[in-house]
Amino acid sequence: MMTVKVLLNSIEKVKNFSAILSKECVEGELVEGVHILDAKSVMGIFSLNLKEPLELRIHSDNQAILKELQEFIVEEN
C-alpha cells in the first residue's frame, strides 16, 4: 500500500483525479480524520473539506499510478 497527500481544491481537480483512478485497476481511499471513502467517488470527495490536503491510500505497489496523479500530490510519505 502507498500513502500520499493530495490536494483537490477545485471542481476540475476532483473530476480529473476521479477519472484517472477510475480508469486504473487500483483501489484507493481518501482519508480525512475519521472519514474514509472510495477515492473514485466524485460525490463522496465533495463531502470532504477540500481546502486542506487529504490522505490518499492506494492498495497497490505499482509506482506508475503516482506519476499519473503527480499534479495532485503535495507531499509523499
Checking if the pLDDT of 77 tops 70, the result is no
Query: Kind of pairing, strands 54-58 and 73-76?
Result: unpaired
Q: What is the CA radius of gyration of the chain?
A: 11
Please give the tally of structural domains in the chain. 1
Checking if the pLDDT of 33 tops 60, the result is yes
How high is the pLDDT of residue 76? 55
Mean pLDDT of 40-54: 93
Q: Hey, what amino acid is at 45?
A: I
Q: Which residues of 2-26 are buried (b: 16+ CB within 10 A; e: fewer)?
A: bebebbbeeeebbeebbebbeebeb
Q: Range of 52's domain?
A: 2-76
DSSP class per residue in 11-76? HHHHHHHHHHHHHSS--EEEEETTEEEETT-HHHHTTS-TTS-EEEEES---THHHHHTTTTEEEE
Q: Give me the CATH number covering residue 12.
A: 3.30.1340.10
How high is the pLDDT of residue 50? 93
